[in-house]
Chains A and B, each alone.
Chain A
Amino acid sequence: MNPTDIPLIETRDLKRHFTIRPGALARLLARAKNIVVSAVDGVSLKIWQGETVGLVGESGCGKTTLGRVISRLDIPTAGEIFFKGFSLREGLPSGGDKSTPIERLGFYRVAQVIFQNPYSSLNPRKTIREIIATPLINRGLKDLNEREETIIALLRRVGLHPRNLDQYPHQFSGGQRQRIGIARALAMQPQFIVADEPVSSLDVSIQAQVINLLEELQDEFHLTYLFIAHDLSLIHHISDRVAVMYLGRIAEEGATDDLYAQPLHPYTQALLAAIPSLDKAARRQRIILQGTVPSPINPPSGCRFHPRCFARVGSICENETPPFFEVGKQRVACWKYQ
């Protein structure tokens, strides 16, 4: 990982806003206006070849939306995504999608997604063979025998037996389904995988099996992961670098060991302090945050964390959006480090 190289994936000031149009009656009677939810609001992130970037945050912070936009399942409202320095699309007008299907397919060949819910992300009417064959066909694998062999090899690689080929998703347990989802993503021979909470719906004893599988596959196929999770221990285990998200923005970013050893942003500090710990000696000073994550419909001004923050510097926190300050190798969006 050489920092002078071009990152595999880079986002610049990426935004995804959703517009909620009130119903006709509400518009007529209450003069309700369109509501804009800024789910992702200016995220700049670099992901280098071969590394795992952990994206962590509480529910509603926009981490899933960011994953969807980076994997091009969703279109950004503003900002750009670069793949190996090549812009996926320039000058993106809001709303419309101008990229041609071929270009999109092109990106799908290098970027795949593993979804959170293995129950809803597999088509219940398709057999496992059909589910895994679809990306192979799209990849251009026309020869039937070769395709069958590839499917069997993929199934074996993720720890399933080829006798399961003609079964349907409902015949599998959650952990097995997640393995099928992983096989489907691998079938495209991607370079980059967005794993969106891949184990959060699984039981603890099964989670470890899937995490170990993901780590083995990364070494074997030289994959780059964007690993989205709310579980800080899991993120610590799997990531090389971590980005902490709060209300659509990245609050802090840095190498995993640095960030966990010395969290800089008050939000990161509070998040880490909130994890229950077995080790009595290592229990950090408990910081119990007041209140909940505000709504992204009307996010707080300035630093979005300021209403819950226990380390405010002054009125600057309420009035101005903090830029990233470099502290050591970490980047932190907090006025404290000005």
Chain B
Amino acid sequence: MTNTPLLELKNLTTVFPTRRGLVRAVADVSLSLAQGELLGIVGESGCGKSVTMLSILRLISTPGRIAAGQALFQGRDLLKLSDGAMRQIRGKDIAMVFQDPLSTLNPAFPVGEQIRESLRIHHIAQNHFAREKERVIELMSEVGISSPTDRFHEYPHQFSGGMQQRALIAIALACEPKILLADEPTTSLDVTIQAQIMDLMRRINEARGTAIVLVTHNLDLAAEFCQRIAVMYAGRLVEIGTTDQVIETPQHPYTRGLLTCIPRISAQRTRIEPIPGNVPDLANVPPGCAFAERCSEMQPICQNDLIPFFEIAPGHLVRCLRHSSATPD
């Protein structure tokens, strides 16, 4: 990670005006992704992890808008590109796998056609039908769809959930993207199928060097798959570090809460420690640390001002005043 990162988010802020006020779904998020890296973004529902992904691809629909920040892809700011230039990148250099495959695939077109669409749009096979179809079949077998020649003509409802997710991955991989954004790719799937899909994504990463951003609420899944993990809470990043740093020496009380509130299979059964209270209303996030209200180590100063990041070890950043002795980043 010495050279320039493949993707770098700088102070990205995405807002949605609502009747209750301005919802800052993503607030001041800075992140970097290196070539071939596996990065996990972990948080509960509504913490802004999916909106971060959509913001990178500029898929935020009005009245939502990206209010501030930069998203640098190979040094170019995606947020400043023209719509046409953005379309060249979206799906070709940066592709996305969405959470719910059945609602993402178009029910009215055969699956094979939908995979072919991205080849056609990005002129991968010079718009030559036979060559495109050949490539689609290659892709389908690569992601583990059996008898792809027959299944090319089948419709999404004829695929099982796991197969639909594989088809979505095939669409995302069609143009050999440099970055794959996977938004909860296995949440709607059973554990045995989840293992198949994660194994497939790991093989893609190894074979092609595709950088993958895995967005998930499952810290265990991120820990097993990713090299680095970023934890989000109420629209902000609260902790970033390598997987070992975040899992073995979690520093933010929220990260620690996430780790102790899930039951784990171990010889002795311990009482799970719930995080008290609820996630704050994003239209009305308290000043200071958004987690302060639920935090057992809260001090009065936590609620005053925005907490900066403190670097407590190389590459391990945490937004918590307990580490204020460390140098602010």
Chain A contacts to B: CB under 8 angstroms: 58-59, 173, 175, 203-209, 211-212, 230, 232-234, 236-238, 257, 260, 270-278, 283, 286, 288-289, 292-293
Contact = CB atoms under 8 A, between A and B. Distances in A.
A274 B182 CA distance: 19
B224 A204 contact: no
Given A204-B258, A212-B271, A233-B262, A274 B195 contact: yes
A278 B247 CA distance: 8
B221 A234 contact: no
B65 to A, nearest CB: 27
B315 interface: no
B273 interface: yes
Nearest to B196: A288
Interface in B229-276: 247, 257-259, 261-265, 267, 269, 271-276
B223 interface: yes
Given A204-B261, A230-B191, A276 B217 contact: no
Contacts of B160: 292
Contacts of A286: 195, 199
A244 B77 CA distance: 51
A290 to B, nearest CB: 8
29 contacts: A58-B190, A58-B191, A204-B217, A204-B258, A205-B44, A205-B275, A206-B278, A208-B261, A208-B275, A232-B265, A233-B263, A233-B264, A236-B265, A236-B269, A237-B264, A270-B192, A271-B192, A274-B192, A274-B194, A275-B191, A275-B220, A276-B223, A276-B225, A278-B224, A278-B247, A283-B224, A288-B199, A292-B162, A292-B193
Interface of B: 44-45, 160-163, 190-196, 198-199, 217-221, 223-225, 247, 257-259, 261-265, 267, 269, 271-276, 278-279
B111 to A, nearest CB: 16
A278 B192 contact: no
A261 to B, nearest CB: 8
A129 B225 CA distance: 47
Nearest to A260: B265
Contact of B191 (A211, A232, A257): A232
A58 B161 CA distance: 12
Q: Which 5 A-B pairs have the closest CB atoms?
A: A237-B263, A208-B274, A205-B275, A58-B190, A274-B195
A4 B221 CA distance: 43
B204 to A, nearest CB: 15
Nearest to B191: A274
A234 B263 contact: yes
A276 B217 CA distance: 13
Nearest to B162: A292
Contacts of A173: 278
- A203, A211, A286 — most chain B CB neighbours (10 Å): A203
B258 A237 contact: no
Contact of B261 (A207, A236, A273, A275): A207
A289 B267 CA distance: 26
A276 B221 contact: yes
Q: Which of B192, B196, B223 has the most CB of A within 10 A?
A: B192
A84 to B, nearest CB: 29
A58 B192 contact: yes
B242 to A, nearest CB: 13
Interface of A (DSSP majority class): helix
Nearest to B188: A59
A277 B264 CA distance: 9
A266 to B, nearest CB: 12
A203 B274 contact: no
A211 B45 CA distance: 19
B223 A278 contact: yes
Contacts of A236: 263, 265, 269
A205 B190 CA distance: 21
B1 to A, nearest CB: 22
Contacts of A234: 263
A276 B44 contact: no
A233 B161 CA distance: 23
Given A277-B224, A278-B247, A237 B272 contact: yes
Contacts of B261: 204-205, 207-208
B44 A211 contact: no
Given A204-B44, A275-B265, A278-B264, A209 B220 contact: no
Contacts of A233: 262-265
A203 B223 CA distance: 18
Contact of A271 (B161, B191, B269): B191
Nearest to A238: B263
B191 A237 contact: no
Given A205-B261, A206-B278, A271-B192, A276 B220 contact: yes
A173 B44 CA distance: 14
A63 B247 CA distance: 33
Nearest to A292: B160
Contacts of A275: 191, 220, 265
A15 to B, nearest CB: 24
A167 to B, nearest CB: 16
B263 A230 contact: no
Given A271-B191, A275-B265, A288-B199, A206 B274 contact: yes
Nearest to B189: A59
Contacts of A204: 44, 217, 258, 261-262
Contacts of B247: 278
Given A233-B262, A260-B265, A277-B220, A208 B273 contact: yes
Nearest to B194: A274
A251 to B, nearest CB: 13
Contact of B274 (A205, A237, A238, A260): A205
Nearest to B46: A203
B265 A289 contact: no
A237 B162 contact: no
A59 B190 contact: yes
A205 B192 CA distance: 24
A203 B42 CA distance: 12
